[in-house]
A and B are shown apart, each in its own frame.
Chain A
Amino acid sequence: MDIEKVLKKYVPMTETAFYILLSLAKPRHGYGIVKHVEEISNGRLRLGSGTVYGTLTKMQKDGVIVLFSDEERKTLYEMTDVGKNLLETEIVRLKELNDNAVKYEEGSL
Chain B
Amino acid sequence: MKKVFQPFWSYDILKTERWLSQMAEAGYLLQKFNRMTRCFYFTKSISTTLTYRISFDKSSAGVMSSTLRNAGWSTAASSGHWKVAVNANSPESIQTSPVREGILKHNRVIFYIFLALLGYLSVVLVAGISGIGSSWLQDGSDGFVPSPWWILTFFFFALVALLLVLSVYSVNRISKTNKELSAGAPDAVPSPSRWTSKNAENSKPYGQPIRKIKVGWMYAPDKLEKWLEGMEARGYHLYRVDSLGIIFYFVKGEPWKVRYQADYQRNIDRGYLNIHEDAGWKIMFGSSSTFDKWTIWSQQYSENAEAPQFYSEGSTHLQHARRVAILYTAIFLPVLAIHAFNLSWMIRGVLSNTSVSVVSLAIYILSFILFGSFIYRIWAYYMRLKRTYVYRTN
Question: Given A50-B316, A53-B271, A70-B95, does the pair A31, B278 have CB atoms closer than 8 Å?
Answer: yes
A68 within 8 A of B: yes
Whether the Cβ atoms of A49 and B60 lie closer than 8 Å is no
Asked if A54 CB lies within 8 Å of chain B CBs, one says: yes
Partner of B99, one of A31, A49, A68: A68
Q: Is A48's CB under 8 angstroms from B61's CB?
A: no
Among B97, B309, B313, the residue within 8 A (CB) of A14 is B313
Contact A66 B317 (CB under 8 A): no
Closest to B187 in A: A73
**Is B279 in contact with A75, judged by CB distance below 8 angstroms?**
no
Expressed in whole angstroms, the minimum distance between the Cβ of A62 and any Cβ of chain B is 6
**A55 located at the interface, meaning its Cβ lies under 8 Å from any Cβ of chain B in the complex:** yes
Stretch from B65-73, B115-123, B165-173, B349-357 forming part of the interface with A: B65-73
**Chain A interface helix/strand/loop/mixed:** mixed
Residues from chain B with a CB closer than 8 A to the CB of A48 are: 279, 308-313
Asked if A63 and B61 sit within 8 Å, CB to CB, the answer is: yes
Which residues of chain B are near A78, meaning CB under 8 Å? 65-67
Q: Give the chain A neighbours of B308 by CB distance below 8 A.
A: 48
Contact yes or no, B63 A50, CB < 8 A = no
Distance of A6 from chain B, by nearest CB (Å): 9
Cβ A62 vs Cβ B312 within 8 A = no
Of listed A16, A52, A67, residue having the most chain B CB within 10 A: A67
Contact partners of B58 in chain A: CB under 8 A: 61
Q: How far is the CA of A66 from the CA of B93 in the complex (A)?
A: 22
State whether A49 touches B319 (Cβ < 8 A).
Answer: no
- Residues in A neighbouring B97, C-beta threshold 8 A: 68-69
Complex Cα spacing A49 to B313, Å: 10
Asked if B276 lies at the interface with its beta carbon under 8 angstroms from chain A, I say yes
With known contacts A68-B97, A81-B63, A55–B316 Cβ distance under 8 A = yes
Residues of B within 8 A of A105 (CB): none
Q: Does B35 contact A (CB under 8 A)?
A: no
* Contact residues, B185-227 vs A (CB, 8 A): 186-188
Residues of B within 8 A of A61 (CB): 58-60
Q: Let me know if B271 and A75 touch, CB within 8 A.
A: yes
Known A50-B263, A60-B59: A67·B65 in contact at CB below 8 Å: yes
Q: A63-B60, A74-B270 are in contact. Are A68 and B187 (CB under 8 A)?
A: no
B252 contacts A by Cβ under 8 Å:
no
Q: In the complex, what distance in Å separates the CA atom of A6 from the CA atom of B52?
A: 32
How many Å from the CB of A7 to the closest CB on chain B? 14
Chain B nearest CB from A85 CB (Å) reads 12
Chain A residue with the shortest CB-CB distance to B57: A66
Q: Interface code B235-275, partner A: CB below 8 Å = 1, 0 otherwise?
A: 00000000000000000000000000101000001111011
Asked if B310 contacts A63 (CB within 8 A), the reply is no
Given the interface contacts A29-B275, A29-B278, A49-B275, does A63 sit within 8 Å of B63 by beta carbon? yes
Contact partner, A71, options B62, B96, B98, Cβ 8 Å = B96
Residues 116 to 151 of chain B near chain A (Cβ within 8 Å): none
Nearest residue (CB) in B for A49 is B279
B381 in contact (CB, < 8 A)? no
B56 at the interface (CB under 8 A from A): no
Q: Are B186 and A73 in contact (CB under 8 A)?
A: yes
Query: A65 CA to B66 CA in the complex, in Å?
Result: 11
Does B315 sit within 8 A of A, measured CB to CB?
Answer: yes
A sample of 5 cross-chain residue pairs with beta-carbon separation below 8 angstroms, ordered by A number, consists of A48-B311, A49-B279, A63-B62, A68-B98, A75-B101
Additional 4 contacts, C-beta under 8 A, given A48-B308, A49-B276:
A29-B278, A31-B274, A31-B279, A47-B313
B interface residues (Cβ-Cβ under 8 A, vs A): 58-68, 95-101, 186-188, 261, 263, 269-272, 274-276, 278-279, 281, 308-313, 315-317, 319-320
